A and B are shown apart, each in its own frame.
Chain A
Amino acid sequence: MSLVELHAIHKSFGELQVLKGIDLSIDEGQVIALIGKSGSGKSTLLRTINGLEVIDDGAIIVDGKKISDRDADLLGLRLQVGMVFQQFNLFPHYTALENVMLSPQVVKKQSKADARKVAEEMLIKVGLADKMMHYPDQLSGGQQQRVAIARALAMKPKVLLCDEVTSALDPELVNEVLAVVRQLAEEGMTLVMVTHEMRFAREVCDKLVFMHQGRIHETGDPEEVFANPKTPELSSFVGGLA
């Protein structure tokens, strides 16, 4: 059984149909890249997986349990599915350490000492042992994004969603963030990422999902998909990037 199953997901914004029936299963430990042009629905799809976008139709099943749009269900869902954003979205009024400690304390009711222990562990893991007491505006973009990853990990999610986590970074800062994501993948973390880093997707991911006009257009092993795109759309998408 898959960790996360999406069945016939439909989502519209007003008249605009963004997701037109998506089926996708995510296995434990799998690393999936969602690729496609802007407007293809890949970010929206990612955001439905932790309930940031409420679906109009279809089903999301996590660990065998169907998620309804009741608040209690959505909260439960978000405890299992973490998310990292393009714009980091760190809390500017807290230090790096406090950013990571906050949610375990507030949401999981952990003691301050326990939360601190986990937070320090996570910040060390992302290579920021010496930046714990810094405020977000004292950190570079790459450092901020690594704090954001540590913050999501401190909640011990089963799946981590990454929404274009390197797109807002200066080129020289991209690699330090990708290195952390790669490390997570190697440790067996289940990851779903929207990315434009094709080389990274090819090296790290188990499965590539190409989205086009609100549908999954083509999917498969990254090497295979990149080497032999079956549809002209993917072919031109890959070609356009090369």
Chain B
Amino acid sequence: MSEFSNWDIIYNLLMAARWTVLLSLTAFVLGGLVGLLLLMARTAGGAWAKGLVRCYVELFQGTPLLMQLFIVFFGLPLIGLDISPWMAAMLGLTLFTSAFLTEIWRGCVEAIGKGQWEASTSLGMKFTQQMRYIILPQAMRIAVPPTVGFSVQVVKGTAVASIIGFVELTKAGTMITNATYAPFTVYGFVAVMYFLICYPLSLFARHLEGKFRHVAR
């Protein structure tokens, strides 16, 4: 059996961490886009659209992420769609992220007073113009801390993708542990790496808060 140095462990974990970052980014960007569409439907749509979005949000908030991944990964093949672990993880995390973000952002939009809607309406603006120029710029400011806070949850959530065989940071940690029999060392490094990804996000959130406070009063 070959010996593993700490550098071997770290090197291999870093290679796998790239996939954690990529999966997080993809899920966050796609989830954000889907979340924004759902937010529009929930804010502007009829009773039907609103009800549908509410069911969507409840469904993904009320079940474990792991079950959502299982259903995507094992369910889609049942209807003839063969899906790779990467696709399944991306799809599952996107659905999960969009449900949470749309709910977080809905709260932020609702925090903007009725007077802002009425004033912009009476100036002749349409819904999309009101959203773009009046509501979202203000809602974004209050949305920054919970949104970035949630992005940290997404990064940590990518760990469950290891269960369906996608080799990201956690899965790589398990594989290396199986070879080195040094779980404490390996998972210690894994934890540090998650922290190194997540901590800058928290710092970034704080930075943005200060910046938005200056620009948007």
A93 touches B115 (CB 8 A): no
Chain A interface size, under 10 / 10 to 19 / 20 to 34 / 35 or more? 20 to 34
Q: Is the CB of B118 within 8 A of A52?
A: yes
Give Cα A102 to B125, complex, Å: 10
Given the complex, which residues of B lie within 8 Å of A79, measured CB to CB?
A: 124
CB of A2 within 8 Å of the partner chain: no
CA of A79 to CA of B116, assembled, Å: 17
Given the known inter-chain contacts A102-B133, A103-B125, please indicate yes or no for A85 contacting B217, CB distance below 8 A: no
B51 on interface, CB distance cutoff 8 Å: no
Cβ-defined contact, B124 with A75, below 8 A: yes
Knowing A75-B126, A85-B115, A107-B129 touch, does A93 contact B121 (C-beta < 8 A)? no
> Which residues from 141 to 199 on chain A have a C-beta closer than 8 Å to any C-beta of chain B?
148, 151-152, 155
**Interface contact B124-A89, CB-CB below 8 Å:** no
Alpha-carbon distance between A136 and B118 when the two chains are bound, in angstroms: 17
For residue B215, CB closer than 8 A to chain A, the reply is yes
Q: Can you name the residue of chain A whose Cβ is closest to the Cβ of B132? A: A106
Complex interface residues of chain B between 70 and 125 (CB less than 8 A to chain A): 113, 115-116, 118-125
Residues of A83-142 whose CB lies within 8 A of B: 83, 85, 87, 89-93, 102-103, 106-108, 135-137
Q: Is A50 an interface residue (CB 8 A)?
A: yes
Asked if A41 is an interface residue, CB under 8 A from chain B, the answer is no
A78 within 8 A of B: yes
Q: How far is the CA of A102 from the CA of B116 in the complex (A)?
A: 13
User: Which of A's residues lie within 8 Å of B, judged by CB?
Assistant: 50, 52, 71, 75, 78-79, 81-83, 85, 87, 89-93, 102-103, 106-108, 135-137, 148, 151-152, 155
Q: Which 4 A-B pairs have the closest CB atoms?
A: A89-B119, A93-B216, A89-B115, A103-B123
